[in-house]
Structure 1
Amino acid sequence: MVSLLGPRQSGKTSLARAFAAKREHVHYFDLEDPRDWNLLSTNLTLLETLQGLVILDEVQRLPMLFPFLRVLADREKPSAQFLLLGSASGALAQNASESLAGRVFLIPVEGFSLNEIDDSQKLWMRGGFPKSFLAEDTQLSNVWRDAFIKTFLEKDLLAFGEKVSLQNVWRFWHMVSHYHGNLLNTSEIGQSMGVDHKTVKNYLDILCDTFMITALKPWFSNVKKRMVKSPKIYIRDSGILHSLLGVDDYNQLIKHPKLGASWEGFALHQILHVFQPRDSYFWRTATGSEIDLLFEHKGKLCGFEFKLNGDPSLTKSMMTALADIPLDSLTIVTPNSKTLALSEKATLVSLADVCARGM
């Protein structure tokens, strides 16, 4: 049993249909279609009669499916293979862990990445959603992203079963775009919106679960320094970030005060796409020393710093991190730098090279 997990419009259904085209017996159920939802919600046993490939699209819409899928997965001689498509990571991950633990393989589908696209500037500006990236011109790409945001707020959140003020979620999403690449202050945002910090945390969870926001957790080590405890926040797709900021083209982007933060978020998510770490963190002390991204890879603790200007030098912050935390490597990622060793553990590398070769 395999699950494709990612945001709406990221290409999950297209990928599933392309795979299905090579199979002889295929059964497709779209759980956003009331007919398919009603059919399965009233007759789950239909699934045990099917043979071949069974595709269940937007599977998080019908939580009662998961215990039954566990029964089917445990059959001695299963007659069908199941491909699950989901757009809400929290709902799907919870149900999968409770009912399908050890029975389902999760594959993230997050739109286009640098491993697939040669034009990094266009990918950064428009983001990875296929219809945004492939639009005939910049204006049509902007129109698609604006429509995506509107549909997500007015339709998708309701479809996911979220009972919240859609206007407040929009305000929060827009405010987060201005925190992009910085620590999230839930109390400050709550005061601005007239809600408490628990409500802000709920909005954050919703947008993280639906792949709109990434919230990096702070990494703690046994050092005698005060560490920050707030999450570091990013709009997940760079094109959506630019739409929320009102940035319509590359000329506007390079003059925008969030230019550096935009590229940091773009590069960070490309790295996460390549390495798929189980958990990802940032490191920052109360005095301001910081590493943008930390995760374990093949048993080693890897750190990443993102520098738009490509300055080939170790900063005081980097040297503090190398001294204070047990990093096995520190990669300083820039747009176009040639690979250069800066110390025994620190290396300057272009984003394209990191994505192409991994670690």
Structure 2
Amino acid sequence: MHIERTSLLGSIQQRLRTFRAVELVGPRQVGKTTLARAFLAPDSPNYFDLENPLMRSRLESAPMEVLQNLEGLVVVDEIQHLPRLTELLRYLIDRPTHIDRPGQYLLLGSASPRAMHPTESLLGRVSLLEIGGFTIDEIGVDSEAVNRLWLRGGFPNSYLAESDETSWTWRSDAINRYIYTDLPQLGVNVPAPMMTRFWQFLAHYHGQTWNGAELARSLGVGEMTVRRYLDHLTQTFMIRQLPPWHENLGKRQVKAPKIYFRDSGLLHFLLDVRTFPQLLTHGRVGASWEGFAIEQVLRLAQPHQAYFWATHAGAELDLLLVQGDRRIGVEIKYTDQPRVTASMQIAMEDLKLERLYVVYPGLHRFALAQKIEAVPLWALLPARA
């Protein structure tokens, strides 16, 4: 089975028509290389896979000689292996088009630009496009496909596996490879057993506000150490730190971020959830659905800014999407019959929301109150919303 990622391919094509360079970032094994090969064959002299030691050595020893005269599209895959290469790319991208024969560059990386090349961000010179696993607009919105996506996560090899058991094995291998190989290659020097324990502990904090002191006590390390571990997972797209929204409302508001696993399949592996019936009876099913739905909303809506909001008195909003002067609220509810709560009404008034959508695992879209609407996941799709 093959899933065509038409929307992502279109986004890359559009950016290449406008920018000299496009940087495609996301976790490993999420399909970046497959997307790049739609634009350039891997046997092309313009394609550099830095996982290949010979190619990496060639670019490391004589990068100017290799790159300066290439015309057309140049692909550099896994660019984090040569962080200093971006200094040369900056020069090549800035070359005057009427004097030199400039190429175009499609750069693929498995960590945030800040983590991959901290000394040269290429800010303003490249168009940054972040990708993740499959979303509901790519796999379809029938209940079986959505339930599989929720259980297994969006990594192509996990979602498309022939069975839940095969998917489980792939995720086990992926986590081990990430901890024992990928992090050290990025210069992250954390003992693998400690990072494994931290990740397992973090799974039980999914959907909660960050409490570094509590985690530090559980692991027997300092609070700054666990914060550093969290940042490593965030910069490699494993964890989303959803920032809090706060303004002068005369109320004490929560100011720590919320923590979510970006891939529900990895979360379920760490929670030892192997099958969909097991997921439905698990004590963390509500938190799992919340994180899954939030990731779908953010990937599909692509808001300018996204936050959560909470007060110490108990009022909260799972997502606050900010588009210029517009404020849209999103609540995630794992229930067949969503209803308006006092917390929603407080959020509508205090945050001056234009609309509030309650995302739930149902089939029908209907009004709950003025400006408050219950929407199933399919309603997130732009063509059908």
TM-score bin, normalised by smaller chain: over 0.9
1:311 aligns with 2:333: no
Q: What is the CA deviation profile of residues 190-215 of structure 1, one whole-angstrom value per residue up to 9, with x for unaligned ones?
A: 01111111001100000000111011
Structure 2: distance between partners of 1:188 and 1:323 = 34
Structure 1: distance between partners of 2:231 and 2:31 = 23
Residue 294 of structure 1 and its aligned partner are, at CA, apart by: 1.3
Query: Where does residue 276 of structure 1 map in the other structure?
Result: 302
Residue 342 of structure 1 and its aligned partner are, at CA, apart by: 2.5
Match of 1:106 among 128, 134, 140: 128
SS at match of 1:18: coil
Residue 297 of structure 1 and its aligned partner are, at CA, apart by: 2.5
Match of 1:12 among 32, 45, 61: 32
- Answer whether contact 1:26 1:53 (CA < 8 A) is retained: no
Residue 110 of structure 1 and its aligned partner are, at CA, apart by: 0.6
> AA paired with 1:243?
F
Residue 25 of structure 1 and its aligned partner are, at CA, apart by: 6.0
Structure 1 residues 94 and 275, CA, compared in 2 at 3 Å: closer, same or farther?
farther
SS at match of 1:234: strand
Matching of residues 257-336 of structure 1 within 5 Å: 257-297=283-323, 299-336=325-362
Q: TM-score, normalised by structure 1?
A: 0.95
Match of 1:127 among 153, 159, 162: 153
Structure 2: distance between partners of 1:344 and 1:94 = 48
Query: Where does residue 82 of structure 1 map in the other structure?
Result: 105
Runs of 4+ in 1 over 4 A off after TM superposition: 23-26, 92-96
Query: Where does residue 257 of structure 2 map in the other structure?
Result: 231
Residue 228 of structure 1 and its aligned partner are, at CA, apart by: 1.3
Q: What is the CA deviation profile of residues 297-349 of structure 1, one whole-angstrom value per residue up to 9, with x for unaligned ones?
A: 35411111011103332101101111111222211111224222223321111
Residue 94 of structure 1 and its aligned partner are, at CA, apart by: 6.0
Structure 2: distance between partners of 1:90 and 1:283 = 28
SS at match of 1:167: helix
Q: What is the CA deviation profile of residues 55-111 of structure 1, one whole-angstrom value per residue up to 9, with x for unaligned ones?
A: 111112212111211111111224311100011115357659x44222111112212
- Answer whether contact 2:30 2:133 (CA < 8 A) is retained: yes
Query: Where does residue 180 of structure 2 map in the other structure?
Result: 154
- Answer whether contact 2:92 2:102 (CA < 8 A) is retained: no
Matching of residues 185-204 of structure 1 within 5 Å: 185-204=211-230
Unaligned 5+ runs, structure 1 = none
Structure 1: distance between partners of 2:113 and 2:204 = 25
Residue 275 of structure 1 and its aligned partner are, at CA, apart by: 1.9
Residue 132 of structure 1 and its aligned partner are, at CA, apart by: 0.3
> AA paired with 1:74?
D
Structure 1 residues 90 and 71, CA, compared in 2 at 3 Å: closer, same or farther?
closer
Matching of residues 248-259 of structure 1 within 5 Å: 248-259=274-285
SS at match of 1:291: strand
1:65 aligns with 2:97: no
Structure 1: distance between partners of 2:304 and 2:68 = 33
1:2 aligns with 2:22: yes
Structure 1: distance between partners of 2:43 and 2:62 = 24
Query: Where does residue 50 of structure 1 map in the other structure?
Result: 70
Q: CA RMSD, aligned part only?
A: 1.9
- Answer whether contact 1:253 1:259 (CA < 8 A) is retained: yes
What percent of counterpart residues are identical? 45
> AA paired with 1:70?
R
Query: Where does residue 217 of structure 1 map in the other structure?
Result: 243
Structure 1: distance between partners of 2:260 and 2:121 = 31
Structure 2: distance between partners of 1:161 and 1:266 = 30
Structure 2: distance between partners of 1:94 and 1:291 = 35
More divergent stretch after superposition (318-327 vs 28-37): 28-37
Query: Where does residue 27 of structure 1 map in the other structure?
Result: 46
SS at match of 1:15: helix
- Answer whether contact 1:29 1:56 (CA < 8 A) is retained: yes
Match of 2:59 among 40, 45, 69: 40
SS at match of 1:116: helix
Structure 2: distance between partners of 1:192 and 1:152 = 23
- Answer whether contact 2:93 2:102 (CA < 8 A) is retained: no
Structure 2: distance between partners of 1:24 and 1:34 = 15
Query: Where does residue 10 of structure 2 map in the other structure?
Result: none
> AA paired with 1:348?
A
> How many residues in Structure 1 have an aligned counterpart in Structure 2?
357
